[in-house]
Amino acid sequence: MKISFCIITLNEADHLARCLASLVDLADEIVVLDSDSQDGTRQIAAKFQCRWEQQAWLGYVGQKNKALSLASQEWVFSIDADEAMSEELRQEVRALKRQDPPEAVSGYAMPRCVCYQGRWIRHGDWYPDRLVRLFRRARAKFTGGQVHERLEVEGAILQLRGELQHYSFRDRDDHWARCRKYARLWAETQFQAGRKDGPLAGPARAAFRWFRGYVLKAGFLDGALGWRIAWFGAKEVSLKYKLLRQLNRAGGGPRRILHVNSVLTGGGTDESCVRLVQVLREMGQQVWLAGPSGSRYDTALAEAGLFCAPALRNSKPRFIWHVARCIRRQRPQIVHAHHGRDYWPAILAVWLSGQPVKIVLSRHLAKSPGSWVSRRFLLSRCDAMVAVSEFVARVLREGVEEPGSPDPERRSRPPMRGDKSKIFTAQGGIDTDQFRPMESTALREQWKVGAEHFVFAVAGAYDQPGGKGQRDFLLAAARIHQQCPNARFLLIGRGSLAGALQEEIAKLGLTEKAWLTPYCLDMPKAMNAIDCLVHPAVGTEAFGLVICEALACGRPVIAADLDGIPEAVMDAESASLVPPASVEKLAQAMLHWSRQERWNLARRWQLHEKVAARFSLLAAGERMCGIYAQVAG
């Protein structure tokens, strides 16, 4: 028996050497079919003297069948780059090579074992996962949809005992990202096939998937990893059917949406915009983002296929012309602008394009547009204005007057003029796969707080004039620190008020108990490292996603009862709302939480699931898709 080993690759430099080393002495030919790898995959293949072929991506089925067509031997072993042959399997294949199998035999199946976070998983849905990988080329072909291809073989299949080793996931996040990808591809395939299921299909199938993997197939014997595998499997099934229902509700297939953002410097509006376009794409929508290059989002957006040709930053005429070209090229049904500064440029770009496009504008601020012209005419020039909270929608519809407020921004917030039925509400979402209960002892040690300390923290920039209420937080800390000797008060962020806040800490006698932490990029870890988030917001605030982030990590919150902030609070058991600028009430709430028993992991996960149901990225995407459906008709 002579064997051609076939491998399809795309940026597999991390895995390919291990795969090739396990098979090179068994192969009569190694065919590597690549889809434009950029990470050194080709150099690794060259070291093992592989036959290198290039093919633009055809999907899993098309790509694997193409690789089969390139093989020159009668027998083919199809192996993935993140797999390797165990020694027992190598010995069995070596023995087969010394003989000619009976003509009736068309292939050999073998068990596949997954290495997950350094452990081999031999129970649950992942094992034994028998697959036919060695077969007669003329009697086999790959079939299936966009994902989870299957091999159809004509003739008898014999069983091998040696395992194919699968190094599939780097970590928990990579595992869930793959689940989301497969769920999206499955939903798109089933939608194209005309499949429709009732609202109970997803929950019922997800529950059975968990029960089968964890109980019937003894996944519990793999401990905590067995639970995670069963849980993620159930979540993937649930997500599949959610996405399928979303595609069916959209009617007529995925919508084509061009998002417009001329800023992309990393502020809250930019984060919300980028998260939205990414989740819409995962939901099967056709999405593009027109914006300037040179931002920290470039790589992620380009990899996801979300970025149109870049426009020059700070050149509004060029940007408008660029958006108009994108509209003519991509032919979107909807153009969605996110910043106030992009409203009129997006409207003008649609007009210049000459295309029949619906215009959606998002309002991320707790006030109407600043100019009278915009308040008077915007609603007549767009098809929808989407407020990020019910409070913002109220401002747009009715206006809010607080003439006695010490903050000039709050004294008068006039309403929009025109057709108020065009005003919708769609609260934003957070990545609940990142913001989840987890261990964060290392970061607490870095911050020099121990397990005995109860950590209060304000997370946010501290820029002029008032930051995020950090001064009120320190004043409240000064009132209670003697009653709570184990309490620590941290300011997580950066900004122009750093020097003034350091002076305030010293003046209030909090030098040993309060400090500014180094700037933290890993906010999920930060939220897990604290015991209670304090959000004493000042000025105006449209919503309060930082509150959702803390709650998703299973941490209680104390927040100002200000504008749209209460809409982010789940219930009175997990959060306390205090009057804005009331240091006394803030101190009382902090004293209350410092005396509560810390929540155990089970309770934290319970809160996480409640937050995920309302404020996950998928939930936010579904809200926005509902608005798109109403606008596009």
Query: What CATH number is associated with residue 155?
Result: 3.90.550.10
What does DSSP assign to residue 504? H
Residues 463, 477 within the same domain: yes
In a domain, 624, yes or no: no
**Residue 511 buriedness (CB in 10 A; 0-12 / 13-18 / 19+):** exposed
In a domain, 435, yes or no: no
User: Alpha-carbon distance 51 to 582, whole Å?
Assistant: 72
- 365's tokens: 């601020």
543-581: pLDDT as tens digits: 999 999 999 999 999 999 999 999 999 888 999 999 998
224-234: pLDDT as tens digits: 999 999 999 99
Please provide the DSSP assignment of 97-143 as one string: HTS---TTEEEEEE-EEEEETTEEE-SGGGSS--EEEEEEGGGEEEE
Q: What is the pLDDT of residue 112?
A: 95
Domain end, chosen from 429, 463, 478, is at: 429
Residues 6+ away with beta carbon under 8 Å from 117: 169, 171, 172, 225
**What's the pLDDT band for 243 if we cut at 50, 70, 90?**
confident
In a domain, 35, yes or no: yes
The packing angle between helices 316-330 and 343-353, to 10°, is 50
Domain end, chosen from 136, 166, 196, is at: 166
Does residue 500 register a pLDDT over 60?
A: yes
- 558's tokens: 């104390």
In a domain, 632, yes or no: no
Residues 6+ away with beta carbon under 8 Å from 404: 411
Residue 342 CB neighbour total at 10 angstroms: 27
- Residue predicted with more confidence, 633 or 439: 439
In a domain, 278, yes or no: yes
Residues 406, 355 within the same domain: yes
Residues 284, 418 within the same domain: yes
75 phi and psi angles, rounded to 5 deg? -100, 140
Q: What is the pLDDT of residue 212?
A: 95
Across residues 62-85, what is the average pLDDT?
95
Does residue 311 register a pLDDT over 60?
A: no
CATH code, domain with 508: 3.40.50.2000
345-357: pLDDT as tens digits: 999 999 999 999 9
User: Alpha-carbon distance 52 to 7, whole Å?
Assistant: 10
- 467's tokens: 């930051």
What dihedral angle (degrees, nearest 10) is formed by the CA atoms of 374, 379, 382, 388? 90
Report the chain's mean pLDDT, rounded to a whole number.
91
User: Alpha-carbon distance 54 to 80, whole Å?
Assistant: 16
Q: What is the pLDDT of residue 41?
A: 93
Residues 116, 217 within the same domain: no
Characterize 282-315 residue by residue with b for buried, 16 or more Cβ atoms within 10 angstroms of its Cβ, and e for exposed: bbbbbbbbbbbeebebeeebeeeebbbeebebee
187-202: pLDDT as tens digits: 877 877 778 888 889 8
Q: What is the pLDDT of residue 305?
A: 61
125-182: pLDDT as tens digits: 999 999 999 999 999 999 876 666 889 999 999 999 999 999 988 888 788 888 888 8
The packing angle between helices 372-381 and 343-353, to 10°, is 40
In a domain, 581, yes or no: yes
In a domain, 75, yes or no: yes
Residues 160, 179 within the same domain: no
576 phi and psi angles, rounded to 5 deg? -120, 130
255-310: pLDDT as tens digits: 899 999 988 887 889 989 999 998 888 887 889 998 887 777 777 676 656 665 55
Does residue 120 register a pLDDT over 90?
A: yes
Record the pTM.
0.71
Please give the residue range of the domain that contains residue 246.
Answer: 172-250
Task: Name the percent of the chain lying above pLDDT 90.
Answer: 69
Across residues 467-493, what is the average pLDDT?
94
Specify the number of domains making up the chain: 4
**What's the pLDDT band for 518 if we cut at 50, 70, 90?**
confident
3-class secondary-structure state, position 385: strand
383-435: pLDDT as tens digits: 999 999 999 999 999 999 999 888 888 899 999 999 999 999 999 999 998 89
Q: What is the pLDDT of residue 310?
A: 54
